[in-house]
Structure 1
């Protein structure tokens, strides 16, 4: 039996699985063109190759686990930071900041790598679910601000986020890109917040 490095066997297994998934994510971020092999994932995690078979039946099973792990963490991170921001205008800005933080941390590159090797139907389904999860709290914040078309306004904000994402991934300085994106969106949410407090409807 392997040495237990956590208080319980369950926690030990969870920690090992987490280490293996993180290792696979690093390999994808480094440019691995296909589903990472068991040997290289285990080596990157500092574990024996046999450890992989305790958690994953095949490379396809590993890919499924990566999809289930990587895509929800994005929307959960964004929603968590939006909730922490408080007021609706601050939540909208937190949405932009959190998305761009994730891009700068390499999460978008990992998601893109997974998308390039996973079955198209699975990725389309997962991406659609992720988009719904992402857009819901943004739409709610814009609705609170009194936006006449919160869904459409959310799509415009996402267009700014997508453009900023391309700039970051092209090598632009992250802080400057984030400041530029916020500079485009902050005047709108500040005006909307003031109008909402005054009992008016944002145009």
Structure 2
């Protein structure tokens, strides 16, 4: 019987799964254009290749789990930035652009290129739609007459900024241009 490195089997399994998710995230952050296999992820996590299959049935399953794991952290960063800002709309936009510049969005792109049908999954749709809720609530609190539509328009600017950053345009230039457009 293999030894476990936690007080309970459940804690050990959770720690092993977390190690695999973190290893996959790290590998994708280092090279988002290259999608690692389970063997590479397991090696990075310090686990045997066969151990990875106890937690994830395929590379696609692992990448889906990485993306699902990222959404709450991404949303948490946005909510935190908005809560401490005098301009929560700009905080929303700026934080999203910073996360893109940090490479977080490229990880989502890796899954999209490997498995485009995954993004038709209702879980991902709900997670992605959840990212805009803090913006809608902020706009509603500011008295915007149609906060959902305004949020969609603001997100269109964020998406274009994302494309520009990921295509190689400098973060500072994109950020300044977006700020200028929103200030008008």
Q: Same fold (TM over 0.5)?
A: yes
Question: TM-score, normalized by length of structure 1?
Answer: 0.73
Greater CA deviation, 105-114 or 174-183? 174-183
- Contact in 2 for aligned 1:28/1:114 (Cα 8 Å): no
1:32 matched to 2:34: yes
Cα offset for 1:103?
0.4
Alignment of 1:4-15 (within 5 A): 4=5, 10-15=10-15
- Contact in 1 for aligned 2:4/2:12 (Cα 8 Å): no
Cα offset for 1:75?
2.9
Question: TM-score, normalized by length of structure 2?
Answer: 0.79
1:123 matched to 2:125: no
Q: Which residue in the other structure is 1:16 paired with?
A: 16
Q: Which residue in the other structure is 1:194 paired with?
A: none
Cα offset for 1:183?
2.9
Q: Which residue in the other structure is 1:173 paired with?
A: 170
Give the unaligned 5+ runs of structure 2: none
- CA distance in 2 between counterparts of 1:9 and 1:81 reads 37
Given the superposition, is the C-alpha separation of residues 178 and 12 from structure 1 closer, same or farther in structure 2, using an over 3 Å criterion?
A: farther
Give the unaligned 5+ runs of structure 1: 189-203
Alignment of 1:133-144 (within 5 A): 133-144=130-141
Given the superposition, is the C-alpha separation of residues 101 and 15 from structure 1 closer, same or farther in structure 2, using an over 3 Å criterion?
A: farther
Paired residue total = 180
Given the superposition, is the C-alpha separation of residues 66 and 83 from structure 1 closer, same or farther in structure 2, using an over 3 Å criterion?
A: same
